[in-house]
Amino acid sequence: MAFYTTDELNELGFKALGKNIKISTRAAIYRPEEMEVGDNVRIDDFCIVSGKIKFGRNVHLAQFSNVSGGASGVVFDDFSGLAYGCHVFTGSDDYSGKTLTNATVPFEYKGHSEASIYLGRHVIIGTNSVIFPGVSLAEGTAVGALSMITKNTLPWSIYFGAPAKKIKDRKKDLLTLEQRYLNKFD
Ligand SMILES: CC(C)(COP(=O)(O)OP(=O)(O)OC[C@H]1O[C@@H](n2cnc3c(N)ncnc32)[C@H](O)[C@@H]1OP(=O)(O)O)[C@@H](O)C(=O)NCCC(=O)NCCS
């Protein structure tokens, strides 16, 4: 994968940039001036990333993922990530039939709503999943492939399905490995 150099990243005009950031030159980044990017973040080929987004450290967006932060914003806390082809969006049209829909129609004819999204530390989302506006994924949530997350999750839990339901608790062993990894930077 080809990544932007540090100079090229600085030229893109992010709000804040950490160290050792790998953003593919094939990713589409819209409104970087609203994005804060922590250390060791990686964004792969063909991701589409737009609007207000805060990435903590060691966040990964795998190929073909789409994150639309809008004005409300998405926060990816440390060590969280999306597997291939996930969709995370803070805004949605009104599907009830009360208003017009879709991006070609001016806002005055639409019932567009927006709400922020939070992915806690160590959250991992399986391939081709969808996260709805307003959802908060608690620390340590894991979500299986092809899931639709419409509600907040409980910490250290594994979910899957559409809509996603908790199937079991998630182990916390990874916290020991996190500490070992972070100790290298002290
Ligand atoms: C959700 C997940 C973590 C569960 O893993 P697990 O605890 O090992 O569970 P199992 O594989 O034993 O599956 C348990 C049951 O749930 C079903 N299941 C597993 N994942 C599912 C999913 N995403 N959607 C629907 N059903 C699923 C299995 O078919 C199985 O059903 P059965 O008991 O009727 O045979 C895993 O299946 C998954 O989806 N991982 C994400 C993988 C991914 O997207 N990787 C991308 C690259 S990082």
The residue-averaged pLDDT of 122-135 equals 98
Which of 148, 157, 167 most suits a substitution to test ligand 1, by most atoms within 8 Å of the C-beta?
Answer: 167
| Percent of the chain residues past pLDDT 90, beyond the cut | 98
Q: Quick: pLDDT tens for 47-103.
A: 999 999 999 999 999 999 999 999 999 999 999 999 999 999 999 999 999 999 999
Q: Is the pLDDT of residue 186 over 80?
A: no
Residue nearest to atom 19 of ligand 1 (CA): 144
The residue-averaged pLDDT of 123-148 equals 98
Give yes or no for a contact between 148 and 129, defined as CB atoms under 8 angstroms apart: yes
Residue nearest to atom 20 of ligand 1 (CA): 144
Distance between Cα 60 and ligand 1 center (Å): 21
Distance between Cα 141 and ligand 1 center (Å): 14
Nearest atom within ligand 1 for CA of residue 125: 44
Q: How much is the pTM?
A: 0.95
Which of 160, 166, 167, 174 most suits a substitution to test ligand 1, by most atoms within 8 Å of the C-beta?
Answer: 160
pLDDT of residue 77: 98
Q: Is the pLDDT of residue 157 over 90?
A: yes
pLDDT of residue 175: 98
Give yes or no for a contact between 32 and 53, defined as CB atoms under 8 angstroms apart: no
pLDDT of residue 123: 98
Q: Is the pLDDT of residue 184 over 90?
A: no
Q: Which two tokens stand for residue 93?
A: 């049209």
pLDDT of residue 168: 98
Q: Quick: pLDDT tens for 23-42.
A: 999 999 999 999 999 999 99
Cα-Cα-Cα-Cα dihedral sign, residues 17, 23, 26, 28: negative
Confidence of residue 185 (pLDDT cuts 50, 70, 90): confident
Nearest atom within ligand 1 for CA of residue 127: 44
Q: Is the pLDDT of residue 106 over 80?
A: yes
In order of start, what are the domains of the chain with their CATH numbers? 6-183 (2.160.10.10)
Q: How far apart are CA 121 and CA 132, in angstroms?
A: 18
Distance between Cα 146 and ligand 1 center (Å): 10
Residue with tokens 């639709």: 148
CA dihedral 124, 130, 134, 140 (to 10 degrees): -10
